[in-house]
Amino acid sequence: MSPQPRKSLIAHIFAKVQFYGVVFVLIPFIFVFQITIVYPELVRKLKVSLVEQIVHICLISFCFINVIGNLIYSIMMDSSLKRPVFGEGTYCEECRMVRPVRSWHCMQCNVCIVKRDHHCSFLSRCVGLYNQRYFVLFLGHVMLSMTYATYYNYYFVTMKFKGDGWALSAFRIFNPLLRFIIPEPMGYKDVYLFFLIMNVALIVWSGTLFYWHFKNVLMGVTSYEARFPELKDASRWKQNLRNVFGTKWYLAIICPMCESPLPEEAKYV
């Protein structure tokens, strides 16, 4: 039986464009925007002390490193099955080999994924045993980073509008056709408000996904298994966390480069 073809070239290119656009354009642009425009203005207006500035630079650098690092590791870490296993498992007709329990064949990747959670079109690969840690932490750090950025962007936009014009700019952002009706031209304030709205949207997006996936981690189930209540086991939440984030989970959550090996149990449950 010949292997099934991978997904179409157009879909593959589109997924890669999404990845490179976020990693090399959107996230760095938000970082630069915060550092070069938002924060200097707040420092000047609010007279922030040097110590507070250093703390802010350290925190925003921490957020940037964790968002980019976990995203890149989500791509680099491969959870595909390289060789058949011996003992308990199921036989894959496509790969023609025995795979571990909870491993599934992905029709898009055309390979079996160890402890497959789901296929992520954004990453253009499956989330499984070896990259689930980075994927979940990527979502969590995006949520924290955008919340932190929104706090400062709110004060920045408030100073720019001085309490007036919020509704007008918001209407023009959500409905660009209004710019042909409203005589006041669009300006930099509209761009600043757009960034604030985008921050809030990213908080909702990343927060919703993080809640769903982290809850599954605590319950010890994959996205597919989450639909079966009898498979959930919240009583083992500590071990469930270790099975995803590793034995040194406390290091994994603060730095993607820290080594946190998975316990042997995680490879067979």
Burial zone of 190 (CB within 10 Å; 0-12 exposed, 13-18 middle, 19+ buried): middle
Q: How far apart are CA 266 and CA 259, in angstroms?
A: 16
Q: Among residues 201, 256, 210, 260, which one has the least CA distance to residue 63?
A: 256
Does some domain include residue 113?
A: no
With a pLDDT cut of 90, the percent of the chain lying above it is 45
Q: Lowest-pLDDT range, 6-10, 131-135, 143-147?
A: 6-10
Q: Which residues pair with 120 in a beta bridge?
A: 125
Does some domain include residue 87?
A: no
Task: Tally the domains of the chain.
Answer: 1
Q: In this model, does residue 116 exceed pLDDT 80?
A: yes
Q: In this model, does residue 3 exceed pLDDT 70?
A: no
Does some domain include residue 85?
A: no
What one-character DSSP code corresponds to residue 126? E
pLDDT tens digits, 199-245 = 898 899 999 999 999 999 999 999 999 999 999 999 999 999 999 99
Does some domain include residue 33?
A: yes
Per-residue pLDDT, averaged over 64-82, amounts to 92
Tell me which of 215 and 4 has the higher pLDDT: 215
Q: Containing domain of residue 213, as a range?
A: 9-78+129-267
Those residues with Cβ within 8 angstroms of residue 128's Cβ, 6 or more apart along the chain or in another chain: 79, 80, 113, 114, 115, 116, 117
Tell me which of 149 and 265 has the higher pLDDT: 149
Does some domain include residue 99?
A: no
Does some domain include residue 134?
A: yes
Does some domain include residue 123?
A: no
